[in-house]
Amino acid sequence: MTKESTIHPDFSSESERLEFTKRYIDVVISTSQTSKEKYKENMEKAFGDMDWGESSAAYIDILTNSSFFEMSKEELESLTKAKTKPYFARIDFQHEGSDKVEKHYIGKTSLYQRENQEQIIVDWRSPIANLYYEGRIGDVSYVAEGETYEGDLSLKRQYMIEDGFLEEIRDIDLTTTDELLQDSLAKSSSNRLTEIISTIQEEQNRIIRADLNKPIIVQGAAGSGKTTIALHRISYFIYNYKQHFDPRQLMILAPSNLFIDYISEALPELGVERVRQTTFTDYVMTCLEKKLTIVEDNKLIHLIETHDEKVETASWISGFKGSKAFRRILEHYIEEVEQRFYTSKDFYVDKYKLYTAKRFTHLFKEEYTYMPIYRRMEKLKSLLQGYVRSNKKQMVERVEKFFDERIETALFERSKAGNRKEYVSKALDKKIERVDEIKKAIRTSVNAYMKQFEKKTLHQYFIELFSDPVRLASYSKGELSGRQAEQLCHYTLKYAKKKQYEVEDLAILLYLQSYLFGIDKFHKAKNIVIDEAQDYSYMQLYSLKRALETDMFTLVGDLAQGIHSYRGLQSWEPVYRDIFPRATYTELQKSYRTTIEIMEEANKLLSLLPYDFPKVNPVVRHGDAPSFDEYVQVDELASFIEKKVDSGRKEGFQTFAVIGKSMKDCVKISEILQEKQPGKVKLLEEQESIPKDQIVVVPSYLSKGLEFDVVIIAAVEESFNPENELDIKLQYVAMTRPLHKLAFIGRKREQFIGQQAK
């Protein structure tokens, strides 16, 4: 407890309130797990030693009027987690026309009396809590259930609570400049994601609480809290729609399993652990209900390390497959496939016409277009079967009647007396034969009729799409030359004929699946969050929207970090213009991750890119300028890194990363460090989790989305080229990973962009 906190006039009463809340939570948990009979006993255990002074009447009233017996498992888990830090803020608000000042304590979960709904803790996602994030002292308003409530905000207070004890109280106005934010930013990266709720800023809060019935696209600078916003928006959505939505109907599409591991700690804290978390590749395979063989995606690595003509061709093909132009190709292809299901043959059972070709084609072409092609055919087949069933008896009876009438005539007409017996016998045989023929036709006619239509697999359609370069070029309407079409087809079939696919093929497969066969409803999600969305292609986003049949997407990304721009997005405009026209587009330029000194250096790289990116504005937090150390022998490299880590640990930092440009350089760095510190170094690869107690060595392209207290950008053989757009972005990504300290270590300054002139 600090000196400042002890002299706050409300420290004693606030400590008492905190103690009451903690004990109250204990009673709630223990009572809900036992029975009403145990209620009084639990009360006596929890509060028997307390002397509440003047406050006792109010507290006792709350306790004796409470009911804890209807709590869900989720509510109990939230309360258990909240016990050591039940709330982080308080607001005092007086509704217009009321003489009562309401005190609202804001935390990660809510706690209230079941009888009179009086709240002990207000959930941060509730409408009135918005006053803490956006309200100014004085006249304010908030919206709840479509109604606007006005009044006076007289207090905004923050609490520093550690392990259940009140350490400090701060009365504030703007959260943007408050000390709590500074304290949070000064902490280690090891727990920042889980503690962000108390320091959400106004511009972040607006995005989190933006219209939940519209898609949103966020262009956010490095360190602006994009991931935080995405996770909190999911939490806010669940809070508002918990009566109508199963959390499993929401889905996070993460850039990698490494990233899923990184955010996993924050999900339970936000109450969103049941939300589906997957990658685009895994999700497409779920939708296709097939385990595909995916060719290892080394294009980015090859672009970084070799950059020859073969790599350029592969990158161009990836980019074209993900483009709007390829969407047009697919639209023409689907149109052609559809036309193969038009028919000129009427449907007969034996000699009886039951359905016309014109009506069949009309239903397929006009009435059933809301369904995928093969589901339309299943519906039409079912319709024909229904017609057969409803006419079955009539058709059999007509045949029987025809022969019965002739047999009856033969039995009673004198003219047939001579050969009557033979005629009747033949007629009876013929009747049996025709009835059997009709019955067989009834059984087989629908299947026989449907055989005129092709029945192919998704893989066969994919092969067919790329089997004719001339047709592909014609579909493109001038976007592809004949030579380019040949190149594209040859490259794709090289893998496809072995039933292998590249990452870029997945959007095409998903598109074809949705139009041809459909996606099972159990695989669909109603609300989707995509982090690092700048690395998605136009086709990936379009195919997802088409397959999921919703536009309820939250897309967060940073074009300046678009290291996959050869296949990803270079502008958000096509996304909000063509794919998500209802979307709200917003930008975040303020960075909360790193210091002014580090961000100023990183900003210099943005001016080298061929796009007009706004400069990132760091929150006012100072630190050391990025340092550079030059080494001659590789042993010196290891020594420099060890010194940086030791120095950081002495300052209380916990997470350290050495970032190399490529995996090739990282392997060498890792080997050098392992010799010096065996078992204390971890070379991170795509599918691995991040250890908390080791020095992490990670290539620049895998570090995106991660953050560490201290980052060392090291170079052995590789260099970042200021003339190469990808190199600029990779170094920018690496430079924006640290919270506190950044160092460069290389054989010469020229290995790093922006370090040459120093």
Looking at residue 677, what DSSP letter applies?
A: S
Report the distance separating Cα 7 and Cα 64, nearest Å.
33
Q: Which of 34-48, 315-329, 515-529 has the lowest mean pLDDT?
A: 34-48
Pick the CATH number of 216-294+520-591 from 3.40.50.300, 3.20.20.70, 1.25.40.10, 3.20.19.10: 3.40.50.300
Q: What integer is the mean pLDDT of 404-411?
A: 79
Is residue 266 a known part of a binding site? no
Pick the CATH number of 596-751 from 3.40.50.10490, 3.40.50.300, 3.40.1120.10, 3.40.50.2300: 3.40.50.300
pLDDT in tens, 457-482: 999 999 999 999 999 999 999 999 99
Is residue 279 a known part of a binding site? no
Q: What integer is the mean pLDDT of 715-739?
A: 92
Local structure of 148: helix, strand or coil: strand
Per-residue pLDDT band for 594 (boundaries 50, 70, 90) equals: confident
Most confident by average pLDDT, 173-177, 228-232, 563-567, 736-740:
736-740
The domain locations on the chain are 1-84, 216-294+520-591, 344-451, 596-751
Q: Which of 57-61, 116-120, 352-356, 700-704 has the lowest mean pLDDT?
A: 57-61
Residues 130 and 156: beta-carbon distance below 8 Å: no
Indicate the pTM of the whole model: 0.81
Residues 137 and 151: beta-carbon distance below 8 Å: no
pLDDT of residue 328: 95
Per-residue pLDDT band for 5 (boundaries 50, 70, 90) equals: very low
Average per-residue pLDDT for the chain: 86
162 beta partners: 165
The answer to whether 216-294+520-591 and 596-751 have equal CATH topology is yes
pLDDT value at 403 more than 50: yes
Is residue 227 a known part of a binding site? yes
Is residue 224 a known part of a binding site? yes
Report the distance separating Cα 570 and Cα 347, nearest Å.
52
562 backbone dihedrals φ, ψ, rounded to 5°? -75, 75
pLDDT value at 715 more than 60: yes
- For residue 494, give the amino acid letter: K
pLDDT of residue 263: 76
Q: Regarding predicted confidence, which is higher, 42 or 565?
A: 565
Terminal C-alpha separation, the chain: 45
Q: Regarding predicted confidence, which is higher, 57 or 377?
A: 377
Q: Which of 235-239, 278-282, 514-518, 708-712 has the lowest mean pLDDT?
A: 235-239
Residues 489 and 469: beta-carbon distance below 8 Å: yes
Residues 234 and 245: beta-carbon distance below 8 Å: no
Is residue 226 a known part of a binding site? yes
pLDDT value at 4 more than 50: no
pLDDT of residue 177: 46
Lookup result for tokens 């109907």: 249
Report the distance separating Cα 33 and Cα 29, nearest Å.
6
What is the percent of the chain where pLDDT is above 70? 87
What is the percent of the chain where pLDDT is above 90? 51
82 backbone dihedrals φ, ψ, rounded to 5°? -80, -10
pLDDT of residue 53: 47
Is residue 625 a known part of a binding site? no
Q: What integer is the mean pLDDT of 430-452?
A: 92
676: region left, alpha or beta (phi > 0 left; psi from -120 to 50 alpha): alpha
Is residue 220 a known part of a binding site? yes
Greatest CA separation for the chain:
129
- Candidates 738, 740, 739, 713; CA nearest to 727 is 713
pLDDT in tens, 518-530: 999 999 998 999 9
Is residue 705 a known part of a binding site? no
Lookup result for tokens 């809301």: 370
Lookup result for tokens 């270079």: 570
Report the distance separating Cα 236 and Cα 247, nearest Å.
12
Q: What integer is the mean pLDDT of 608-636?
A: 85
pLDDT of residue 2: 43
Q: What integer is the mean pLDDT of 651-673?
A: 93
Per-residue pLDDT band for 534 (boundaries 50, 70, 90) equals: very high
Report the distance separating Cα 596 and Cα 740, nearest Å.
10
Residues 631 and 745: beta-carbon distance below 8 Å: yes
Written as one string, the DSSP assignment of 7-32 is TSTTHHHHHHHHHHHHHHHHHHHHHH
pLDDT in tens, 575-587: 999 999 999 999 9
